[in-house]
Structure 1
Amino acid sequence: MAKKRRWPKQKCCVSKPRCSRCPLQMLKDGTLPEGYTVKKRKLVKVA
């Protein structure tokens, strides 16, 4: 069975250490979904 991917949070909660669903952490790890990026700690869709 395939492992279900976790969707990132809409906004970074700025906690340390970063949680696994943090958009900043997912961007760093390269696990952010296709077509999305992070601007000003918020998850945004690429136009």
Structure 2
Amino acid sequence: MPTVTAKKKCCKDKPRCKKCPVVLNRLSKAGYAERLSRRDYRLLGKIPGKVKAAARAR
């Protein structure tokens, strides 16, 4: 599975970027990513577009 390193700080744009720590935290709470360390996440399989959009939009 691919790993993603989050950015150091959230830019708070709308929609949030894909490497934003807030987005990766929301994906991990939803069960689509696993946190490996403070900034590293492992994506668990294919993430549906609606889930990705919801994590970036809020």
Bigger RCO (CA 8 Å, 6+ sep):
2
Q: Distance in 2 between matches of 1:11 and 1:32?
A: 19
Equivalenced residue count is 35
- Deviation (angstroms), 1:32: 5.7
Q: Deviations over 1:1-47 (max 9, x none)?
A: xx5422100100111101110000100001363242xxxxxx6xxxx
Query: Which consecutive unaligned segments of at least 5 residues does structure 2 have?
Result: 40-58
Q: Which has the higher helix share?
A: 2
> Residue in 2 aligned with 1:34?
36
Q: CA RMSD in A?
A: 2.0
Q: Percent identity?
A: 29
Equivalent runs, 1:11-30 vs 2, <5 Å: 11-30=9-28
Q: Distance in 1 between matches of 2:21 and 2:34?
A: 7
Classify 1:35/1:29 alpha carbon distance in 2 versus 1 (closer, same or farther; 3 Å). same
Query: Which consecutive unaligned segments of at least 5 residues does structure 1 have?
Result: 37-42
Runs of 4+ deviating beyond 4 Å: none
